[in-house]
Structure 1
Amino acid sequence: MENNTNIYHVNMIQGLLHQVSGHIKKIEPEQNIASKSSKQAIVKENAIEGLKLFQEVDIAKMQEVFE
């Protein structure tokens, strides 16, 4: 039963991360200040990549271990 609870939590984390990813993708860097806009775009892309890596490596590993 404990494993089912663990998998449930891992699946919930995956769902929440998917929602977070969707919200990050909706963020639009400012267009009026070039340097600020590029910094915002870089930070946004870094957040997307970091989240993707976390999902693909850490969460996938957790799912594998707890199944």
Structure 2
Amino acid sequence: MNSHLVYALYSEKFDKIYIGCTSNINARLKRHYYFSNKGFTAKFRPWKLIFLEKQPSKNQH
């Protein structure tokens, strides 16, 4: 069983919070910070990781 991570990002420049979940936090953060050119997180860069919590399954967050 893979564990899942719940995380929150904060954009101080725009005073926005984004909450997401993933099983690979490093790859996911790279997508938010660098690789995504569209969508919510691309609009409000730069982001800072402000919360990270491990969950035993995707359904428990």
TM-score, normalization: structure 1? 0.25
Greater C-alpha radius of gyration:
1
TM-score, normalization: structure 2? 0.26
Judging by fraction of residues, say which structure has more strand.
Answer: 2
Judging by fraction of residues, say which structure has more helix.
Answer: 1
